[in-house]
Amino acid sequence: MAEKTPADGLIDGVLELDLDRSRRRGAPEAVLCDAKSVEQVRTIAAEYARLHAAGHEDLGPVLFTRADDARAAAILEALPEALHHADAHLLAWPAAPPAPSGGEVIIACAGTSDLPVAREAELTARYLGRPTRLIADIGIAGLHRLLSRLPELREAACVVVAAGMDGALPTVVAGQISAPVVALPTSVGYGVAAGGHAAALTMLSACAPGIGVVNIDNGYGAGHLAAQIARWAPAPGE
Amino acid sequence: MAEKTPADGLIDGVLELDLDRSRRRGAPEAVLCDAKSVEQVRTIAAEYARLHAAGHEDLGPVLFTRADDARAAAILEALPEALHHADAHLLAWPAAPPAPSGGEVIIACAGTSDLPVAREAELTARYLGRPTRLIADIGIAGLHRLLSRLPELREAACVVVAAGMDGALPTVVAGQISAPVVALPTSVGYGVAAGGHAAALTMLSACAPGIGVVNIDNGYGAGHLAAQIARWAPAPGE
Amino acid sequence: MAEKTPADGLIDGVLELDLDRSRRRGAPEAVLCDAKSVEQVRTIAAEYARLHAAGHEDLGPVLFTRADDARAAAILEALPEALHHADAHLLAWPAAPPAPSGGEVIIACAGTSDLPVAREAELTARYLGRPTRLIADIGIAGLHRLLSRLPELREAACVVVAAGMDGALPTVVAGQISAPVVALPTSVGYGVAAGGHAAALTMLSACAPGIGVVNIDNGYGAGHLAAQIARWAPAPGE
Amino acid sequence: MAEKTPADGLIDGVLELDLDRSRRRGAPEAVLCDAKSVEQVRTIAAEYARLHAAGHEDLGPVLFTRADDARAAAILEALPEALHHADAHLLAWPAAPPAPSGGEVIIACAGTSDLPVAREAELTARYLGRPTRLIADIGIAGLHRLLSRLPELREAACVVVAAGMDGALPTVVAGQISAPVVALPTSVGYGVAAGGHAAALTMLSACAPGIGVVNIDNGYGAGHLAAQIARWAPAPGE
Amino acid sequence: MAEKTPADGLIDGVLELDLDRSRRRGAPEAVLCDAKSVEQVRTIAAEYARLHAAGHEDLGPVLFTRADDARAAAILEALPEALHHADAHLLAWPAAPPAPSGGEVIIACAGTSDLPVAREAELTARYLGRPTRLIADIGIAGLHRLLSRLPELREAACVVVAAGMDGALPTVVAGQISAPVVALPTSVGYGVAAGGHAAALTMLSACAPGIGVVNIDNGYGAGHLAAQIARWAPAPGE
Amino acid sequence: MAEKTPADGLIDGVLELDLDRSRRRGAPEAVLCDAKSVEQVRTIAAEYARLHAAGHEDLGPVLFTRADDARAAAILEALPEALHHADAHLLAWPAAPPAPSGGEVIIACAGTSDLPVAREAELTARYLGRPTRLIADIGIAGLHRLLSRLPELREAACVVVAAGMDGALPTVVAGQISAPVVALPTSVGYGVAAGGHAAALTMLSACAPGIGVVNIDNGYGAGHLAAQIARWAPAPGE
Amino acid sequence: MAEKTPADGLIDGVLELDLDRSRRRGAPEAVLCDAKSVEQVRTIAAEYARLHAAGHEDLGPVLFTRADDARAAAILEALPEALHHADAHLLAWPAAPPAPSGGEVIIACAGTSDLPVAREAELTARYLGRPTRLIADIGIAGLHRLLSRLPELREAACVVVAAGMDGALPTVVAGQISAPVVALPTSVGYGVAAGGHAAALTMLSACAPGIGVVNIDNGYGAGHLAAQIARWAPAPGE
Amino acid sequence: MAEKTPADGLIDGVLELDLDRSRRRGAPEAVLCDAKSVEQVRTIAAEYARLHAAGHEDLGPVLFTRADDARAAAILEALPEALHHADAHLLAWPAAPPAPSGGEVIIACAGTSDLPVAREAELTARYLGRPTRLIADIGIAGLHRLLSRLPELREAACVVVAAGMDGALPTVVAGQISAPVVALPTSVGYGVAAGGHAAALTMLSACAPGIGVVNIDNGYGAGHLAAQIARWAPAPGE
């Protein structure tokens, strides 16, 4: 025998929450997908489509984060006009970010493996309305490359620094600039660095002040915080 | 060469234990399925069917918990009249819960991802004989929704609060009501919140008194405890 | 140069909180002393004395918990009519607990070392209005003593079981009774059991259902929860 | 036989570092005292006095943090015009903070025990030039007090939220305001909350976005980051 | 291009080690399979077959432990006369254990889920030459069953107690008998009990003396130690 | 006001437990002193004196373990004929151990720092009636000394190996002898080895079979287990 | 809709880093493959091919480490002349190592399971230009084999010792030789030894001096460090 | 009654060990003082004096490490000609180090708090016969100072890098030089960095190769390893 779950009512409630957060905090909705079943994700996306079709106002941008291929397909089926940033496991609906305002957010990381999380942070900041830039080739094992990018980094209103393994890059960056640094540990690593816990500890222990740490692989949270920080700063070039 | 395992005798012993617990504690049998092989689960279910066919008395309700699809199928094959609550990974045999008595047990959680464990708790309390209600759309990031449900929560004899990630919801709820709170950490989370350990720590550290914590994802234990707590309380509306 | 801290205003605020909690939840105030300086504790106690002298109503019982000798002396100086339960590191003001009502709360532990925390739990339940009893000589290494106390334990509306070291006692008790068990890990132990963390893990992992766990050494929280649980149960002997 | 340590040369180097950081990042010097011997602290303070007497320019404000009584005395002996904020274990030299500019930084905590660290954060932000306010009587166990302070909190350019035990306050605050939150875990707690690690985990796991976490008890780092964040925001009332 | 690995020489060396251990310690060879590739396991088994065919003496019994289906098949292919105890993931070659001598080793566990590891312990003790018995239906949540088996348990020369979850069973058993207890934590459990670490901590923290703990799921080690302990004890019934 | 604690009744219960254990398990009483207050220790010792003066039979040897100077003095005051082994923080009453029987127990450690715990183990085994020997100068960093003591070690019925730091000695010893090894981690160490946790992990992970591990610094438990193991073995020289 | 990722630019940057490191440190490039997608690995390998075809100088040897079959195939497709050491999950391009110079590096481990990591270390040292040797059949549970290899070990300029489980082998080796030991923990193990963390702790806690530890399974790092250490030592036989 | 401990025999054995290590490994004796009682340290020092007076040869230099004031006084009483390096908590006997040979060992750290451990490393390397230099004013928060010392660092045969808090300095240094780096985590830090564990994790996780890690605060081990590494390297200036 199969019982019916009271899913309809619950999903409505979930959407109520997100809509409210958008109004209250001036930020886009966010749906964390990997803790939900494909069916749950599909239902949420369909509810947005239904609300939109019904002429609902206040439907600001919605970000679907940590979406694998199956969940992304379910979302695109319900919201075909969403933009799928596959490298960041993120979908945005509607596709176009708002016009940029406020100071520039730079996302920095050391290389290839940290790119998905760094891109999630960049896109989040962009969809929250900031101008963004990605610098992906600086690592503390090769200081010259970091040093050559310092002029750029010093123009940012906020720098998100993503790092796995030893997680030491945010400290080095924060010691060289006057803007706040959002430290974003990634789960890139193995052995004692597995899961990103060593990187998170390093970042919380940083000798340099001016660093706020977010959860491991929480690119959305890092980009969100950076966008809030850069909100009042002068636009690049001003 | 293949050796015979002495399974028959052992399974009998296992069932003896559960039958006895039911008599001694006045609670349904429970069979935790995910630590057992499909074959072991099938044998246990078949033994219940055999005992029932043999006219065995004292066979109170049996709950099969944490059952995936393969284990559920094995149970339904032996006990086709069992009720499969797929959203809670739980099967009940017989299907009908007892008539409700005692105070109401409310199960509260923040949203979609905690639902399976919250439903396991709710069903356990219901099969132990309590009236139950599920409130699934309150989260501490949006206080207004919690505040709007306070009148309901204050009528419960016991509230089970399921939460993953930071696990802060039970503290907030316990601070607003006078009934006991059963805090149920879930394994929903990633990074430092992976596995639910951060949520469990938060709940044990709660500033508000009146909170008892159970193991991560232990919806059965939470519902069981809540049903015991609500046993003597007045029925809803009295 | 010495600066003035704005302590006066802040202390008033702290008292506002506690008074409110008492009204809202029907429970006594509680002041956790060991995280506060002696001066801070003295100021809080003096504020209660001042409010009392000013005829403030709603001043229910106040429990000062985890108070060492210096803090206890500071409290008794401001509130000389408080009762100092030195074995529980607890002071109650006023001295007399309310008349007992509801079901009986039994606090059980294995022996000498767990007594201070067990007594803190017992006194808290008593000052919340429950009849209480302390059983201090049962341990799982000697089952006969536990078995001989089972008739008493089975009459309780709630049993608080305090244990350090391996923390296995709550599981054994919960397997023998039908009332809820509040598991109270204590920091008694050394080596891998140091600080009570092993005991807390054991209790959360308990095989028997019907157990809610509180923080290590949180006698106040355990007694508070037990008093809430036993509130609606029949009085002993009824 | 006693050997001479090459302390003189090394101390010079230490001061060079701090002076440079001040120029490079536009922030005051900071001397973390509790990891240094009383003699080392005394030597550093004396060097500042010597440089000042020698007419050294660029000697911006210096903050001596985490200074117990012995270290504070050593500092005041060398720099008698320093201001000792004993409640924050912090000394500032020179005594007067700069004129406030930028947005307001609010430091919020639940009560008495978190005050020293909260005050360290507040003073750091003030000596970095921001207008500051301390709200010390909000806790999630009593939501009404938090709710009554929301209008103030919503006017801040950045809110530092200090919390020990379960560390859940920053999540609740971040869910209600649009400014960034700096989450400051404190070592207030016992049992599983001992040392502040549970609070730090809770804050990193926060459900609400817009939160950057610093090290446990790192009031200096929290205040520094908040001052950077609020730098470009409009002044209060604008 | 594919390079040749110097596997031949290395495998010879591995076998030399095991053969020597057998001579030196009077115990069977043991090959831990799950840390080796299927090819490595196959080569080792083939080397035993080759040595046997070459008339090598001193080839005592060999136990292949923690062997999944693929590794078991590889072993049986090389050593078809080996006995595959599938329920214990163990193969013995030759198939027949030695005639039993010394005191009896009893392996006790609570139920179904611990059986594979308990059986590995039992078979190891049997192949080391002890009389063995398996008692699989005692758990501390139901004391009567444990109590009914006490007469048997008190006749053993050594009792191996396997337990997952809270791992409390060895303490209870050790408190009731005078023979040594080998505590064998199993990885059965979830939440804070995941992986068996909580059970291992409980066993090391046991209040009762007379307990030696082995690694989680190390049925081979537990059975080996128990066989050594029971070596000099009187045979059952003597 | 000072309240009376119900200590008299409780202490009686504690003694009942220990007396019973002695009868049931054939082992001496043991009183773990460091988790008890000086007053509690004094009361327990006085109760033994009272029972002895009253002609109580069955008062086998009592071991007071982990007793610092203050607790030792309290014991000697009540039981002046007790023997104080100050190097092991242990007192025995009566002073004389029983005549040795069974196989020899050897306690081995690497050097000076592990001696107190090693001596506690040796004395416990001796007071349980085994012949004992202490070998304190073998360490794996200098294999020749271990190798030169192998003939002695191979004559023991059981070897207790105490080690701190990396805790590797038990593995090496167990690989060379056929008797069981009781691995006793000590809290000697610093850095990652602080508290003895690394040593305990090493011992549980040992490659060599035949090792049972006890809690860190649990010399009493190690000696007790070794005495049980050696009970049936032939006496030295037989 | 599918967005283009700016991969081209980023990959160029990654290669710039590695080329620079080679020049700066005199060591081969290394590409850690398992944290990169197959596509990313393929792009990097193709870039090396392109640079080589374009006549780029300074393209020293490149090591692709931790490459599974899919990543190895992608590399061989782009760089068919690379040498695939499948047993070490490593590819070298060009295939031939430099002519050996400096002292000999010996890699020692206990047996079969540690071989892949030990081989990765050996090959890295060889491609950095050192003469190497692999000794794979010594384990501390069987000292005689270790002792028989001591003359060889004492001729090495540096010994890498790989070990999982209890990780005790490096201590024993370091105690017998005068050359430095690089301790290489492997993830071989289960239970409390799972993941290699216990082995890493043991090695950091080693009683014998002369040991430097690298990350778990970091065969590349161990071989690299050993090659640096042996650089100035006399060649074998000199 | 007071029992005699067999200390005389044991202490002799301890000394035998150390003397042997000196001969076997060509390194000075080392006596770790803080895990020994003052009496034990005094006895060991006196034994050296006695052996010296008796004309014992082979008494190479002895280092007494981690000696507080009481232990240092006991040593100087027995060996008045020892040299007390109070800043490193180390005593050397005889006072004069050997003439320097081999490559230079540089010890680098960030500042004041790491000096005691850095000095212990430097003195150990010097007493093992290497030329040494201490660079104490480089930290990754201020890169310019590190960069200005690079020419010196690149001349060393081995660099010991001591760091607490985030422990990131060794990675940065290793990325800039071709000599091996010995990473020495210190216990300087608080919050999540308390005890030096975060620093140790960072160092093991380092992105740059060429780093060997020792235990937290193990200045002796770091200096010893560095001296071994630099043994064959050309002397400075050659």
> Which of E214, E216, E228 lies at the smallest CB-CB distance from F179?
E228
| Per-residue confidence (pLDDT) for residue G1, from 0 to 100 | 43
Is the pLDDT at G98 greater than 60? The verdict is: yes
The amino acid present at F131, given as its one-letter code, is P
Region F5-11: what's the mean pLDDT?
Answer: 39
Q: Do chains C and G touch (3 or more CB pairs under 8 A)?
A: no
pLDDT for position D38: 94
Dist CA F70 CA F112 (whole Å): 24
Residues 6+ apart with CB under 8 A from H52: H59
CA distances from D104 to A151, A231, D211, E146, H53 (A): 29, 15, 17, 67, 74
By mean pLDDT, which of B82-86, B212-216, E46-50, G15-19 is the weakest? G15-19
Q: Calculate mean pLDDT across residues H212-231.
A: 97
Candidates C115, C144, C191; nearest CB to F215: C191
Give pLDDT tens digits along chain C (238 positions).
Answer: 434 343 333 344 444 444 555 555 556 788 999 989 999 999 999 999 998 898 876 677 899 999 999 999 999 999 999 999 999 999 999 999 999 999 999 999 987 899 999 999 999 999 999 999 999 888 777 788 888 999 999 999 999 999 999 999 999 999 999 999 999 999 999 999 999 999 999 999 998 899 999 999 999 999 999 999 999 999 988 7
Reported confidence tier of residue H23, pLDDT bands at 50, 70, 90:
low
CA distance H81 to chain A (A): 41
**pLDDT-derived band at F103, boundaries 50, 70, 90:** very high
Chain F residues within an 8 Å CB radius of E229: 180, 229
**Which chain G residue has its CA at the smallest distance from E39's CA?**
G112
pLDDT band for position B14 (cuts 50, 70, 90): very low
Helix (H) or strand (E) holding D116: helix D115-127
Q: Name the least confident of B56-65, D62-71, E6-15.
A: E6-15
- Decide: F216 and F185 in contact? Cβ < 8 Å: yes
Residue D20's CB: how many other CB atoms inside 10 A?
16
Q: Does residue C124 sit in helix, strand or coil? A: helix
Coil, strand, or helix at residue H200?
helix
Q: Which two tokens stand for residue C150?
A: 């089972």
Question: From CA G161, how far away is CA F228, in angstroms rounded?
Answer: 38
Q: With 90 as the cut, is the pLDDT of residue H238 above it?
A: no
Checking if the pLDDT of H24 tops 60, the result is no
CA distance E189 to chain C (A): 8
Nearest C-alpha neighbor of D184 from the set C35, H191, A160: H191
G176 shares contact with chain H (CB less than 8 Å): yes
Q: Give chains near E: 3+ CB pairs under 8 A.
A: B, C, F, G
pLDDT of residue F19: 53
**DSSP symbol at D196:** G
pLDDT band of B22, cuts 50, 70, 90: low
Report the pLDDT value the prediction gives residue F9, as an integer from 0 to 100. Answer: 34
- What pLDDT score does E207 carry? 82
CA distance A17 to B149: 13
Ordered strands of the C83-85 beta sheet:
C29-32, C62-65, C90-93, C83-85
Q: Which CATH architecture has domain B105-232?
A: 3-Layer(aba) Sandwich (3.40)
- Predicted pLDDT of residue E20: 52
The secondary structure element, H or E, covering residue D92 is strand D90-93
Cβ within 8 Å of residue H125, ≥6 positions away: H105, H107, H132, H160, H223, H224, H226, H227, H230
Q: Return left, alpha or beta for B167; rule: phi > 0 is left, psi -120 to 50 is alpha, else beta.
A: left
How far away is chain F from the Cα of G204, in angstroms, using its nearest Cα?
Answer: 7
What tens digit of pLDDT does each residue of E40-61 get? 999 999 999 998 898 876 677 8
Q: Cβ contacts (< 8 Å) between E176 and chain F: which residues? A: 24
Of the pLDDT bands very low, low, confident and very high (cuts 50, 70, 90), residue B104 is very high
Which three-class secondary structure state does DSSP give residue C104?
coil
Would you state the pLDDT for residue F29? 83
The answer to whether the CB atoms of H213 and G214 lie below 8 A apart is: yes
Ranking A54-58, C102-106, E215-219 by mean pLDDT, the lowest is A54-58
CA distance F194 to C68: 29
pLDDT of residue A181: 98
pLDDT tens sequence across D117-173: 999 999 999 999 999 999 988 877 778 888 999 999 999 999 999 999 999 999 999
What does the DSSP 8-state code read for residue F184? E
Q: How large is the ipTM?
A: 0.90
Which residues are CB-neighbours of D223 under 8 A, at least 6 positions away?
D105, D107, D120, D121, D122, D123, D124, D125, D126, D128, D160
Enter the tokens of residue G85. 């050491």
For residues F104 and F230, the answer to whether their CB atoms sit within 8 Å is: yes
| Mean residue pLDDT across chain B | 87
Share of chain F above pLDDT 70, in %: 88
- How far from the centroid of its chain's Cα atoms is residue A111's Cα? 17
Torsion of CA B145, B150, B156, B158, to 10 degrees: 70
Answer whether residue A2 shows pLDDT above 50. no
- What pLDDT, in 10s, does the model give residues D171-203? 999 999 999 999 999 999 999 999 999 999 999
| Partner residue opposite F14 with nearest CB, options C111, C188, C192 | C111
What are the sequence ranges of the domains in chain F?
A: 7-93, 105-232
The mean pLDDT value for F205-220 works out to: 95
Distance CA H158, CA H178 (A): 9
Highest mean pLDDT pick, A1-10, A11-20, E44-53: E44-53
Q: Is H160 helix (H, G, I), strand (E, B) or coil?
A: strand
Helix, strand, coil tally for chain B in percent (to 5): 45, 15, 40
From chain E residues 12-71, the ones with a CB under 8 A of any chain F CB are 21, 24-27, 30
Residues of F in contact with H185 (CB under 8 A): 191
pLDDT given at position C51: 87
Lowest model confidence (mean pLDDT) among A162-171, C119-128, E87-96, F7-16: F7-16
pLDDT one-digit tens code per residue, E127-171: 999 999 999 888 777 788 889 999 999 999 999 999 999 999 999
Q: What is the pLDDT of residue G4?
A: 37
pLDDT computed for residue A165 by the predictor: 93
Choose among E101, C45, H188: nearest CA to D66.
H188
Pairing, β D90-93 against β D83-85: antiparallel
Mean pLDDT over the full length of chain H:
87
More confident residue, A6 or G52: G52
Distances (CA, A) of H14 to D119, F134, F137, H20, H32: 53, 14, 6, 10, 12
Q: What is the pLDDT of residue C99?
A: 94
pLDDT tens-digit series, residues G68-95: 999 999 999 999 999 999 999 999 999 9
Give me the pLDDT at residue H56, please: 78
Residue H218: pLDDT above 80?
yes
* Closest-CA residue of chain E to B217: E191
Q: Chain G residues with CB inside 8 Å of F174's CB?
A: 141
Strand B62-65: give its sheet, edge to edge: B29-32, B62-65, B90-93, B83-85
- The two tokens of residue H175 are 């990325």
C-alpha dist (Å) from residue A214 to A135, A188, A199, B190, D193? 19, 15, 11, 12, 20
For D56-88, write each residue's pLDDT tens digit.
766 778 999 999 999 999 999 999 999 999 999
Higher pLDDT, F154 or E29: F154
Strand E83-85 vs strand E90-93: parallel, antiparallel, or unpaired?
antiparallel
- Which tokens sit at E214? 């082995």
CA pair distance D170, B166, nearest whole angstrom: 11
Higher pLDDT, F9 or C204: C204
Q: Between C and D, how many CB-CB pairs are < 8 A?
A: 77
Name the least confident of A67-76, B46-55, D144-153, H24-33: H24-33
* Residue A117 confidence (pLDDT) above 90: yes
* H60 or H135, which is more confident: H135
Shortest alpha-carbon distance between residue C143 and chain E (Å): 8
In this model, does residue F14 exceed pLDDT 60? no
Q: How would DSSP label each residue in D7-68?
A: HHHHHHHHHHHHHHHHHHHT--EEEE-TTS-HHHHHHHHHHHHHHHHTT-S----EEEES--
Strand order in the sheet with C211-213: B132-135, B105-109, B158-163, B181-185, B211-213, C211-213, C181-185, C158-163, C105-109, C132-135
Tokens 């239902």 locate to: A43
Which stretch of DSSP H or E encloses residue F29?
strand F29-32
Section D213-227 average pLDDT: 97
| Residue E2: predicted pLDDT | 39
d(CA C102, CA G169): 63
Q: Which of A16, A82, A68 is nearest to A47 (CA)?
A: A16
Do the Cβ atoms of G3 and A145 come within 8 Å? no
State how far residue F7 is from chain C, nearest Cα, in angstroms. 9
| DSSP characters over chain E | -BPPP-HHHHHHHHHHHHHHHHHHHS--EEEE-TTS-HHHHHHHHHHHHHHHHTT-S----EEEES--HHHHHHHHHH-TT-EEEGGGTEEEESSSPPPP-SS-EEEEESSSTTHHHHHHHHHHHHHTT--EEEE---BTTBHHHHHHTHHHHTT-SEEEEEE-TT--HHHHHHTT-SS-EEEEE-S---GGGGGGHHHHHHHHT-SSSSEEE--TT-HHHHHHHHHHHGGGSPPTT-
Q: How far apart are CA C29 and CA C94, in angstroms?
A: 11
Residue E199's pLDDT is what?
Answer: 96
- Residue B129 per-residue DSSP state: T
Inter-chain CB proximity B213 and C214 less than 8 Å: yes
Q: How far is the alpha carbon of A2 from chain B, nearest alpha carbon, in Å?
A: 6
Task: Provide mean pLDDT across the span G165-170.
Answer: 93
